[in-house]
A and B are shown apart, each in its own frame.
Chain A
Amino acid sequence: MGKKLKFSLLAALASLALVTAAGAALRSGAASPSTLVFATSADPVVLDGALISDGESGRVIIQIYEGLVGLKPGTGFPAPGLALSWSPSKDGLAWTFNLRHNVTFTDGTPFNSAAVCANFGRWYNFTGSFQNPDATYYWQTVFGGFAHNEPGSPTSSLYRGCKAVGKYTVRLFLTQRSASFIAALSAASFSMESPTAMAKYGANQGSVDSNGVFHPTGTYATQHPTGTGPYMLKSWKVGDKLELVPNPHYWGPKPHIQRLIFKAISDNAARLQALESGEVDGYDLVAPQDIPTLKKAGFQVLSRPPFNVAYVGFNSSIPPLDNQLVRQAVAYGLDRQSVVNSFYGGRARVAQEFMPPQLFGYSKKVQKYTYDPNKSKALLKQAGLTLPVKLDFWYPTSVSRPYMPDPKANFEAFAAGLEKAGFQIVAHSAPWRPDYLSAVNSGKAQMYLVGWTGDWGDPDNFIGTFFRTPQDAWGNFKYPALYALLTKALGETDSAKRVAEYQQANELIMKFLPGVPYAHTSPAIAFRKGISGYVPSPVDVQAFSTVSVK
């Protein structure tokens, strides 16, 4: 009995191994020249631009939809989109857009000025749960309030109205001048969607449950997103894959890829392994330490131009950080160069101010702080404090950001450097969502690691977002001159003056030191050989319609 059993077991194992090897040879992952499988870090939330603010939703939305304003490929600067040109009125309160002709949505609805006003009108007239800050983040950031504001919504709005002046000419009315308004319209949240389809599939139907979670109840945002873009949705199974196919009526060049499949794989290492084993053709958010491995194995590694900033933030109302000397001591105590050298795979540079160099308004004359532990100690003593000075330093867990791929490593290295500079670091950590961001944004965290990727090519999107108004995260510090300067710059129409104003703001900021920026990074995307045409964008707007597979 024994021998026979042993033999049959061995035979079974051998045949299993044989079959697996044979199966590997006939790998079903072998793609055809017109299919692309791309691994992302998460599924989109919904496919309705007006109701999202996350990058993964944006990634798919920009394949399906287009907005009035597009972007020059590979940059964050405006270019014609569905609008061919635009111009402001003399007082800057009305903008006239000339629309592209002969464009239709995928359901046949024509795109014209009526459609534009339908979209803007929809956003402006959101009520009830749609005014939830999580639901309409970008509208509220750029425009502010709505037609009928619910209690708790912003009370004023930049938007005043929309008028269809001709079939292909539309005028948008604002309540005040804004220089960044055009750039902001390039965001995925301001995509033009088919009014007919939205009405048919209940785009405005949604409710909020007892936990305060907003969700659409119509099928528009999950099954029938209807735009003018190069692709359209074929199928979407959450947790499995999302498949796009070309839009047969697209007005522009036809996409090469006939089956565009997005697969969500949340683990960095798993995405890498999927690319290596051939199960996917490319993936985003490549960990810096994997780049040499990928290059050695013959994969392509593309870089996004740096358009982000990683920084150490201070809550300047919590002593001793309310003392500028102490803040400067911290700046001299952060070994930023070592961190940038060690954990970014050589793809980052030390940040000298809170916005990246390629953006206008960048100043070369800001005060610089190199790692100098002795200087830190001297400054602390000058401030009259006894060493070591205790600081609560926060870092997030369960997350990897393009500007901070390994927060824990950054934290540990910074903490060690600070401890040599006369500080005593008390570590605090929390999962990125919800606790960490809540602690940071409410001002609970005294000193913290965080960052920002730009949404559009305007300095206000960086230092305006941070420092145009007092915020709890920064300790609501009193610096009226800075607030006034940034507010003025937002509405400044003279472009030369505007550049100077932002430069001056950067110099003021780096003197006051509400925080210490430390890195601008080039996030990487990886593809297998034979894939070309993907143009990495600093604001993370990348079309797959130009991509082709050999």
Chain B
Amino acid sequence: MLRFVVRRLLLLVPIMVGLSLLVFLWIHALPGTPAVALLGERATPQNVAQFKRQYGLDKPIYDQYLAWTKTTLKGDFGYSIEDRRKVTTDFFERFPSTVELAVAAMLVSVLLGIPLGFIAAKRYGTWLDHSSLVASLIGISTPVFFLAIILKYLFAVKLHWLPTVGRISPLIDTPHPTNFYVLDAIIQRDWSALWDVIKHLILPALALGSIPLAIVARITRAAVLDVQNEDYVRTARAKGLAPRIVDRRHVLRNALLPISTIIGLQTGFLLSGAILTETVFARPGVGTWLASAIAYRDYPVLEAGILFLSILFVLVNLLVDISYAIINPRIRYS
């Protein structure tokens, strides 16, 4: 087991190095200059030239990469061009918001997807099964931002049931020690704030979680169908165990294996889908941060954002692999 983990960790190193090289080379292949970004309508060439001269943006690429790795490993990612704050400060301030959204979307997909898939499998061949398949296919075929726009328009603008923007009402003044607003509200025992935060999470989580929901439902259905046919299930049934216990103890538990792997893989989608969802709902998070950095050619932010998110993705996949190996011993020796 330990050898497996160590081996996988060692595999991380070339990936991280390759990733950093890729990101760095990419950054410097980008068109546009940072100087003009700051000057707005006033960006005269004299001003820009002065800017460039003062800050030496013209050293050779190799030197720049070495310098970059040195500062990056120290944790210095520079300052955002758009709001002039430290990139790492910005990221860690916004990261909890995106994590909250991703977790909420994941919960939506799991809490709704697994039961739906289970029921569809149990009712294999009926209209419920077929319609769940079609629904899940429609879910996968719908662009996230389109669904987000429709949901926002229906529930927030037309029906006024839920808020349209942000993480919390601007009028509420609870302190945010952890920056995870749900946790903060619980810690402060501020229940109206907690309810407000949850209200702001519902629509974005539904929009972002729709595709993982569809996938989880399908996988659950397929996994349950598969496991149901296994001999040990048939034996358990033949022995006279109540169907519900068979379901819980044998079917679900074994079906959860492939399901949990898929859930881990959804992280990548959740991280990148957050860009679109957060933009539609104007939530401050890594997604909107990157979206405006794209338009603004905010180099430091783009670098850090892509690097951090990719590292996160890699780590989550590693965790999923390890947990899968723990659960399923056969994998360790492959």
Contact = CB atoms under 8 A, between A and B. Distances in A.
Contacts of B74: none
Contacts of B244: 1
Contacts of B195: 23
Interface in B20-56: 31-55
A5 B115 contact: yes
A152 B49 contact: yes
Interface string A426-456: 0000011111011001110000001010000
Given A46-B84, A212-B52, A438-B48, A279 B40 contact: no
B63 to A, nearest CB: 11
Contacts of A471: 44
Contact of B67 (A20, A210, A267, A431): A210
A472 B170 contact: no
A137 B39 CA distance: 8
Given A29-B169, A241-B170, A270-B282, A211 B33 contact: no
B247 interface: yes
A416 interface: no
A434 B43 contact: yes
A273 B119 contact: no
Contact of B157 (A212, A240, A276): A276
Interface residues of B, number: 78
Contact of B164 (A5, A212, A279): A279
B34 A450 contact: no
B327 to A, nearest CB: 25
A434 B294 CA distance: 11
Contacts of B49: 152
A437 B294 CA distance: 16
Contact of A132 (B31, B51, B122, B296): B51
Nearest to A140: B47
Interface in A124-182: 129, 132-134, 137, 141, 150-153
A265 B282 contact: yes
B157 A273 contact: yes
A21 interface: yes
Interface in A1-44: 1-2, 5-6, 9, 20-21, 23-24, 28-29, 31, 35, 37, 43
A216 B83 CA distance: 11
Contacts of A6: 119
Given A6-B119, A24-B160, A213 B169 contact: no
A431 B172 CA distance: 36
B295 A273 contact: no
Interface in B160-210: 160-167, 169-172, 192, 195-196, 199, 202
Contacts of A435: 31-32, 36, 297
A437 B41 CA distance: 6
Interface residues of A, number: 71
B152 interface: yes
A240 B282 CA distance: 10
A81 B71 CA distance: 47
Interface string B292-329: 10011101100000000000000000000000000000
B247 A238 contact: no
A266 interface: yes
B54 A437 contact: no
A209 B32 contact: no
A309 interface: no
A9 B118 CA distance: 13
B88 interface: no
Residue of A29, A450, A473 most packed against chain B (CB within 10 A):
A29
A64 B225 CA distance: 66
Nearest to B297: A434
Contacts of B57: 211-212
A239 B85 CA distance: 12
Interface of B is mostly: helix
A515 to B, nearest CB: 14
Given A213-B81, A435-B31, A1 B39 contact: no
B107 interface: no
B40 A437 contact: yes
A412 interface: no
A208 B78 CA distance: 9
A306 B32 CA distance: 33
A20 B161 contact: yes
Contacts of A152: 49-50, 53-54
Contacts of B53: 151-152
A213 B80 contact: yes
**Which one of B164, B170, B300 has the highest number of Cβ atoms from chain A below 10 Å of its Cβ?**
B170
A150 B169 CA distance: 47
B234 interface: no
Contacts of A270: 164-165, 280-282
A277 B41 contact: no
Contacts of B80: 213
Interface string A393-407: 000001000000000
A1 B243 contact: yes
A302 interface: no
Interface string A254-280: 000000010101110010011011111
Interface of B: 31-55, 57, 67, 71, 78-81, 83-85, 90, 93-94, 115, 119, 122-123, 152, 156-157, 160-167, 169-172, 192, 195-196, 199, 202, 243-244, 247, 279-282, 284, 288-289, 292, 295-297, 299-300
11 contacts: A1-B247, A5-B119, A211-B78, A211-B81, A213-B80, A261-B171, A273-B164, A274-B164, A279-B166, A279-B170, A471-B44
Q: Which 4 A-B pairs have the closest CB atoms?
A: A212-B55, A152-B50, A239-B284, A133-B47
